[in-house]
Structure 1
Amino acid sequence: MTRTMPISLWDASAEERDFEGRLPEGETFDVAIVGGGFTGLSTALHCTEAGLSTCVIEANHVGFGGSGRNVGLVNAGIWLPPTQVREKLGTTYGPRFLQRFGQGPEMVFDLIEKHQIRCEATRQGTIHAAHAPSGFRDLEARWKEWNSMGEPVDLLGREEIADKIGTDTFHGGLIDRRAGTVNPMGYCRGLARAATAAGAKICTGVKVTNLLKQTHGWAVETDRGNVQSKAVVLGTNAYTDALWPGLNKTYTMIHYFQLATEPLGEKAVHILPERQGLWDTAPVMFSLRKDNSDRLIIGSMGKIIGTKSSGLSQRWAQKRISKMFPDLGRVRFEEAWHGQIAMTPDHLPRIHTLDEGLYTPIGYNGRGITTGTIFGQGMAGLLTGMDPKDLPLPITDVTAVASAPLMSRFYNLAFTANQFIKGF
């Protein structure tokens, strides 16, 4: 498949090489995996290491979806505070979910170390910054919960957080020292390299067109031929299409956009000097981080409107950076992109059994790196005989979100309005 323009800064700057592979037409596998992102590649790696023959089928290229367009924050846990997780998942799954997702960054960084994945990995934590006094009160409540659990999460006041970020525009923040940052495309390609080295087959530029249940498994039909498999895992998350009827109606799809500046060198030495990534407590979330070449990567909810050089998103980013770091002056942007996020009504991810031998983890709510990696390991466990009750959350039935199309349009309008209001 011929590659043209990069889909993100991470696609353009990743040290790990791009990956191409052809469909092994007519072959039979223990597991066929649809989607070459974090979930699919983690599933392939863990399944192959467990002794299963594995084939990953990706319609475009490795990391084409949300994985290669990610912010790159390797966060522990999910959006919800611990108390709400326990309330929603109960006394058995709640504590287990918090423990395993709290260990998610460690799992990611262990894989990076084990397979020597070149992905600009830093483990200095991530910052949840208070956009207003109300945001700080929310963070203080979260900190008390994490502190009672003995987790390395620190609450910093306005002056302390200003030193960490390089601006006094925030009202304090939490630093989660379990977390860190990566080049997400580099991590994704590194997982592909590791899975291939373990024996997995990965094919790119191949679209799955149908899944046909058979007596002893599945026929996976594609536009380049067919393969047979005993089991199938759909690892498509927010890029799920109509392959399995109704699955793409189980979440609300929103967009998240980012722009990356040119390398700023010494001008940015005071900005995020320890290279933590951050996101804030505002209703329309904002993110900021710095890569190894001293580019600032700034983002928020919504689509890119315009280009890296002109248009609404570029004006929004320029104004936001100028407000936080007035000494920088006007900056030039090198890349601009957006990706898709699958949001569930309760902000918890899902694992579904769609049919016998057909599984999908879905609904990551913007926490793709750790969630995809953890669920890939979970899929391998299921397929090698693990009791489903040992998963970090229960397997649930597919339930359509009736309001999803309407809410997606509403959010798109709201996020566009936010860019307009704050860009002028």
Structure 2
Amino acid sequence: MLNDPRSHGLWEKTAPAPPPTTRLEEAISADVVIVGGGYTGLSAALHLAEAGTNVVLLEAAEIGFGGAGRNVGLINAGMWVMPDDFPKELGPIYGERLLDLLSNGPALVRELIEKHAIACELEKNGTLHCAVGPEGLKELEERARQWQKRGAPVTLLDAAETERRVGSRVYSGSLLDMRAGTLQPLAYARGLAHAAVKAGARLYTGSAVTSTGEVEGRKFVKTASGQVTADWVIVATDAYSTGPWEQVRREQVHLPYFNLATTPLSDNLRRSILAGREGCWDTKEILSSFRMDQAGRLVFGSVGALRGTGTTIHKSWARRSLKRIFPQLGEVEFEAEWYGKIGMTDNALPRLHKFDRNTIGFSGYNGRGIAPGTTFGMLLAKHILGEVSEVDLPLPLSDPREPAFRAIKEAYYETGAQVAHFAGERF
């Protein structure tokens, strides 16, 4: 996107086209204006439009430009933190409410895909959280225990079963989560956009919001060439926030993450590597993720940015890692490469902010945007429609707070990933 092949890589090459959109060039009115064309904004627009609401969505760049179009494509349940940590961080009411909601998030994603016939390479065979060594297996044993006591369909697999499913002997076990799966993330975002337009939503791209305010009891947002007046404003910009809600970006520490896609593998290799097409990631602190797309490309990713010296370092590390994990691959060629930013909050849990009267938004997905973003967008729509009260939302209201040493931490993550990958897999 924006003539940058490293922004969305394989996903832009293989996603169906988005609906036709234009830049906002006039002053218009709506019931609700949504700022941000990712999963949260598009889900909110779809659910509001289906309820007969006059809704306008403004996207600064293109549909799915932020994390929605760059991520790995894992439809996960929950967040990175352990299930028992939800009530510890948020209290028993909000903690269990959020946990239950996000546990069911992948089901909502599948429901929307099927209802609107979204072509996004949906796979329903679950995900595998792969254990690296005894400590990794210990972590997964505890994660399994905490989910299973809540009735979640997760199963701890031994090393042999993990090898059979993954096609690699390097893992000491894995946690299979049958709620989860994979999809083509940009295709899903564009599919939500098509569904929202069909339902009556008006979408504008290349329309960054520059200012906001209120006149005679109604909110307004301005772009460089237009204005929307509405009763409600949904802020759905998350880690890529700029302009009036840049505070949302400043609340998060950006963790860079890259993905590399091989050329399509042969039929023999596709039978021996992820034959069930589960999405995978490991328990390392600097984690790796891998999955197959529909055409048999192996998508492999980790922490780091493909810019400057990082481009060569991370790609070289990826080749060494793939050779160790999947020796049957031999030498690999990468067909596409891309990277983006994961917005991390200080407790790895999302936020709910009320920026002003009738101006509200969720943010801080910590690398778990697909199911939470879709779910939170639906909830914002229901809140505006009067179906869900403020006190019944899954998070308490909070004020954006910038973490200490944010810029230093971001530089450390990018540089640290390069150092780790330069030295990694050389034994």
TM bracket, shorter-chain basis = over 0.9
1:15 is displaced (CA, Å) by 3.1
Q: Return the TM-score normalized by structure 1.
A: 0.96
Distance 2:247 2:116 in 1: 37
SS of the equivalent of 2:320 reads helix
Q: What residue in structure 1 maps to residue 358 of structure 2?
A: 357
Q: What residue in structure 2 maps to residue 398 of structure 1?
A: 400
Q: What residue in structure 2 maps to residue 329 of structure 1?
A: 330
Distance 1:341 1:245 in 2: 15
SS of the equivalent of 1:92 reads helix
1:14 is displaced (CA, Å) by 1.2
Matched, 1:388 2:385: no
After superposition, the CA RMSD in angstroms is 1.8
Q: Which structure 2 residues correspond to residues 94-133 of structure 1 after superposition, within 5 A?
A: 94-133=95-134
Q: What residue in structure 2 maps to residue 144 of structure 1?
A: 145
Query: Letter of the aligned partner of 1:88 in structure 2?
Result: E
Q: Which structure 2 residues correspond to residues 207-356 of structure 1 after superposition, within 5 A?
A: 207-244=208-245, 246-266=247-267, 267-305=269-307, 311-356=312-357
Superposed CA deviations along residues 355-397 of structure 1, whole A, max 9, x for unmatched, are 1011121110000101110110111122112211111222222
**Count of matched residue pairs:** 423
Change (3 A) 1:409 1:68: same
Query: Letter of the aligned partner of 1:390 in structure 2?
Result: D
1:242 is displaced (CA, Å) by 3.6
Stretches of structure 2 that go unaligned for 5 or more consecutive residues are: none
Q: What residue in structure 2 maps to residue 11 of structure 1?
A: 12
SS of the equivalent of 2:179 reads coil
Distance 2:4 2:282 in 1: 34
Equivalent in 415, 421, 424 of residue 422 of structure 1: 424
1:60 is displaced (CA, Å) by 1.1
Superposed CA deviations along residues 102-158 of structure 1, whole A, max 9, x for unmatched, are 000000000000000000001000110111210100100111111111110000011
1:306 is displaced (CA, Å) by 6.1
Superposed CA deviations along residues 157-209 of structure 1, whole A, max 9, x for unmatched, are 11110111000011101000000000001100000000000000001111211
Distance 1:244 1:107 in 2: 28
SS of the equivalent of 1:228 reads strand
User: Which piece of structure 1 moves more, 390-399 or 96-105?
Assistant: 390-399
Distance 2:329 2:59 in 1: 41
Query: Letter of the aligned partner of 2:143 in structure 1?
Result: R
Distance 1:269 1:312 in 2: 30
Q: What residue in structure 1 maps to residue 205 of structure 2?
A: 204
Would you say the 8 A contact 2:264–2:295 is kept in 1? yes
Stretches of structure 1 that go unaligned for 5 or more consecutive residues are: none
Query: Letter of the aligned partner of 2:149 in structure 1?
Result: S
Would you say the 8 A contact 1:128–1:278 is kept in 2? yes
SS of the equivalent of 2:132 reads coil
Change (3 A) 1:340 1:53: same
User: Which piece of structure 1 moves more, 174-183 or 12-21?
Assistant: 12-21
Distance 1:281 1:18 in 2: 38
Would you say the 8 A contact 2:262–2:333 is kept in 1? yes
Q: Which structure 2 residues correspond to residues 176-187 of structure 1 after superposition, within 5 A?
A: 176-187=177-188
SS of the equivalent of 1:187 reads helix
Would you say the 8 A contact 1:307–1:336 is kept in 2? no
Matched, 1:407 2:409: yes
Q: Return the TM-score normalized by structure 2.
A: 0.95
Query: Letter of the aligned partner of 1:63 in structure 2?
Result: G
1:260 is displaced (CA, Å) by 0.3
Q: Which structure 2 residues correspond to residues 160-175 of structure 1 after superposition, within 5 A?
A: 160-175=161-176
User: Which piece of structure 1 moves more, 50-59 or 272-281?
Assistant: 50-59
Same amino acid, percent of matched pairs? 40
1:287 is displaced (CA, Å) by 0.2
Distance 2:215 2:245 in 1: 16
Query: Letter of the aligned partner of 1:8 in structure 2?
Result: G
Distance 1:199 1:12 in 2: 28
Change (3 A) 1:404 1:190: same
